[in-house]
Amino acid sequence: MTTPQTTPQTPPQTPPRPQRLIVVVGTATDIGKTWVGAQVLSRLRSDGLTVSARKPAQSADAADPGPSDAEILASATGEDPPEVCAKHRSYKVAMAPPMAAAATGLAVPTSEQLLAELQWPQMDPHLQIGWFETVGGPRSPISIDGDGVTFAHALAPDLVVLVADAGLGTINSVLLSLAPFSDFNTTVFLNRFDPNNELHHMNLDWLRTREGLDVHADIEALCHTVRG
């Protein structure tokens, strides 16, 4: 008896990964991750690189008159805000996204759902820089079962950028925030760095010389590291 021949199933095609995938975390909320991202991406784009930003979920007070994180990042990359963060993942309450979803009566997303929704743009030549922005600090919830550390391990980025304040408490917050990312290539950006502030310089020097970290206080230097 002849065994019928079956056609092999073609595995589903996963969207291509950016040439360099960057995951961005902060030491806390309102530390300036989105501002830093917009500065870096706009400069890289003006240099001719193809760039894209993604934020899996965002939340802000409905009365906040300012642009959303997705709008700021989209203006830097040339994308539409809903491409950066889907409308159904933008919550109108100033809480961590899973809390904001629950507070507004919406389904609370899981990490698996948010990762399944992550789509980088298809382009030729291939997307060079993919910028993935988390929320709050490393352990701030993004989904019901995941935070910035969870998503970094799921995405296995080429670089983790930690955005920190330059002033008092910086050394402690940087070291605590970097601890969960010891398996990754990391760089630190000291936001709001004042070249005339002695403490800012001392923090920068301490982190570089005593802790052996890659630390920047200049956007152009950070762009060079992001490019690889």
CATH of the domain at 139: 3.40.50.300
Q: How many domains does the chain have?
A: 1
C-alpha dist (Å) from residue 211 to 114, 172, 178: 35, 11, 11
Identity of the amino acid at 40? V
Query: How confident is residue 15, by pLDDT bands cut at 50, 70 and 90?
Result: low
Q: Is the dihedral of CA 189, 190, 193, 196 positive or negative?
A: negative
Residue 49 lies in a domain: yes
Q: What is the dihedral of CA 24, 148, 192, 171, to 10 degrees?
A: -120
Residue 76 lies in a domain: yes
- Adjacent-strand bridge partners of 216: 189
97's tokens? 């996204």
Residue 7 lies in a domain: no
Query: How confident is residue 122, by pLDDT bands cut at 50, 70 and 90?
Result: confident
pLDDT in tens, 197-206: 999 999 999 9
pLDDT in tens, 19-49: 999 999 999 999 999 999 999 999 999 999 9
Residue 5 lies in a domain: no
Please tell me whether the overall predicted TM-score, pTM, comes out greater than 0.85 for this model. yes
pLDDT in tens, 127-164: 999 999 999 999 999 999 999 999 999 999 999 999 99
Identity of the amino acid at 16? P
What's the chain's Rg over C-alpha atoms?
A: 19
- The residue range of the domain holding 52 is 20-227
Residue 107 lies in a domain: yes
Residue 9 lies in a domain: no
Residue 77 lies in a domain: yes
Closest by alpha carbon to 137, among 107, 109, 92, 173? 173
Residue 175 lies in a domain: yes
Q: How far apart are the first and last CA of the chain?
A: 60
Burial of 17 per CB tally in 10 Å (0-12, 13-18, 19+): middle
Does residue 152 contact residue 22 with C-beta atoms inside 8 Å? Answer: no
Identity of the amino acid at 212? G
45's tokens? 């784009």
**Cα(121)–Cα(127) distance, integer angstroms:** 7
- Residues whose CB is less than 8 angstroms from the CB of residue 167 and which lie 6 or more positions away in sequence, other chains included: 192, 197, 199, 200, 203
Does residue 122 contact residue 15 with C-beta atoms inside 8 Å? Answer: yes
